[in-house]
A and B are shown apart, each in its own frame.
Chain A
Amino acid sequence: MALDFKVLQKVKGNPSTEVAADRRLKINPGQDYAYDMPKELIYTINHQFPLESLFNQEGETNEDFLIKQGKTFMNLLIREADSDAFRDRTADMIECVAQQTGIRFPHVFERYVELGILNLRPRDAWTVTEATTKTLKVRNFNCSIGKMFAEKGLDNCHIFCQAANQVAAEKAGLNLKMSSSKGLDGNGLCEQVFRIPQAGG
């Protein structure tokens, strides 16, 4: 309980003092950065990994194939998004903060998840509904991949996403519990949940 006279008496320090040495970041005068994702990254990724890659030549989507394609996609995305050509200031700042605080979840990981969505299905509607240091939830309202699978009578698209997100988690240096829940009528509604496993859990 924080709201207590005795507890507050023990609190010492000046709020304006730097919390740790070299923690304070200052404006770099005259610098003009780019923060959002460039369209050119979408063109590059789509050229190398078109959406049709999710189905093999026979139109099959067995589990092994989807896992392989998920890994291929995310490895490609990470390589390009972190390259000198496409890396942005948001990525630099996320990594800088992770180094300073030691906290890599959710944003080091979330960055790859978001770029994955924006590159593979840039016109989709989606949002982040929770982003704490323990839980990340991403809600897709009309997932193009889910709809594409549903049109073919398939419902295993989550295998592709999970394989891709697993690569992102490894790149971010995180061990995560992942789950997803889809709408049953193939309407493209899908929520992905990522959690840091609790000790003993």
Chain B
Amino acid sequence: MCWVCEKYGNGEKWYLNPENYARRLYKVRKEGREASGADADPQAAGMGAGVVAELVKARISGDLKWEEEIKRDALEHAYQTHFGQVVTLDEYLQILDIAYPLVKMTCGCRRVQRGMPDEENFTCMGIGPGMYKWERWPETYRGGVEFLTPEEAKQWAMMNHKEGRVQTVDVFGTPYIGGLCQCEYPGCVAVRNRLDYDFKFLLKGHTVAKVDREKCTGCKSCLGRCQFKSLNLEVYTNKAYVDMDQCFGCGLCITACPSGAIELLDRESLPGLAENW
């Protein structure tokens, strides 16, 4: 179990616990700014984006202690407010049955990082009762929103998976899960910050991929799917190889493999990886 499961999972994976998606619809209206919708913007949280400039300065200076301090302070705050974890497609589909409402929206990361036009960028999902108040944040939702049924959302999630996007759950006020992301490196701020700066705003998933060398034909279909730089082709055997230490367990490689040569193992069943989140 990861530390989030231990605290918020009720003995199961925390993101499959319906309690972490439930929240009140109403509170008594306060006077002034809140009434006019000036609450914190959910996307302004930004998965560490706000401290990366500082981190780059520290890295350029070569002061490792400073870099570690920035990370430690930022993570301490993030784990109470806003972080994410990789999930498999199967888990993602299960979540769509325990969270509601489900809202298709544009991805803020890809808009900023890659300048994606809104009409081509509906790859994120806002979930839970806060989405009934989406108009509070016009800039975040400037591309509009689409409220979906669970079945429509599942089809849409499979389209995203097929296109090669990593699926994650995202917390907005721990342990409340208010977003389901589908993104890719380098556009995704969470994936990018984790890979480029070892910033653990994004936790690894509960599974790890493993290649069956007998079944692998060396077709290379899986190689381009990995967003975490954990898949390689072994030159001397011409077989795919997963660096399990680097694998985030998203499962994108599995659905690209026509010979069914890759499987997902439970991270905790592997002593060397059980604490590698």
Contacts and interface: CB of A to CB of B under 8 A. Distances in A.
Interface of A: 1-5, 7-8, 11-16, 18-20, 23-29, 31-39, 42, 89-90, 93-94, 96-97, 100-103, 106-107, 110-111, 114-115, 118, 122, 126-133, 135, 137
A26 B121 CA distance: 15
Contacts of B146: 18-19, 23-25
Contact of B28 (A2, A42, A90, A132): A42
A27 B201 CA distance: 30
A2 B135 contact: no
B18 A132 contact: yes
Given A19-B148, A34-B35, A39-B29, A107 B122 contact: no
Interface of B is mostly: mixed
A19 B30 contact: no
A129 B24 CA distance: 9
Contacts of A28: 135
Given A34-B29, A103-B100, A130-B19, A16 B255 contact: no
B26 interface: yes
Contacts of B99: 132
Nearest to A17: B122
30 contacts: A3-B255, A5-B257, A15-B160, A16-B119, A16-B121, A18-B146, A19-B156, A20-B152, A25-B146, A27-B138, A27-B141, A27-B144, A29-B138, A31-B135, A33-B37, A34-B35, A35-B136, A36-B35, A93-B132, A94-B132, A100-B147, A101-B147, A102-B149, A107-B25, A111-B25, A114-B24, A114-B26, A122-B28, A130-B22, A131-B23
B29 A36 contact: yes
Interface in B94-138: 97-101, 104, 119-123, 129, 132-136, 138
Contacts of A127: 22, 24
Contact of A3 (B21, B89, B258): B89
A37 B24 CA distance: 12
B251 A107 contact: no
Nearest to B158: A11
B155 A11 contact: yes
The 5 lowest CB-CB distance pairs between A and B, nearest first, are A36-B29, A16-B122, A93-B132, A11-B158, A130-B18
A5 B258 contact: yes
Contact of B37 (A1, A19, A32): A32
A31 B147 CA distance: 20
Interface of B: 18-19, 21-30, 34-37, 88-90, 93, 97-101, 104, 119-123, 129, 132-136, 138, 141-142, 144-150, 152, 155-156, 158-163, 182, 251, 254-258, 260, 264
Contacts of B256: 5
A14 B162 CA distance: 10
Contacts of A96: 147
A8 B255 contact: yes
Given A15-B123, A97-B101, A32 B36 contact: yes
Contact of B144 (A24, A38, A131): A24
B123 A24 contact: no
A27 B142 contact: yes
Contacts of A31: 135
A118 to B, nearest CB: 6
A166 B144 CA distance: 35
B27 A36 contact: yes
B90 A3 contact: yes
Contact of A129 (B19, B25, B264): B19
B1 to A, nearest CB: 21
Nearest to A38: B29
A2 B36 contact: no
Contacts of B27: 36-37, 118
A114 B152 CA distance: 28
A130 B119 CA distance: 33
A86 B30 CA distance: 15
A167 B22 CA distance: 23
Contacts of B163: 15
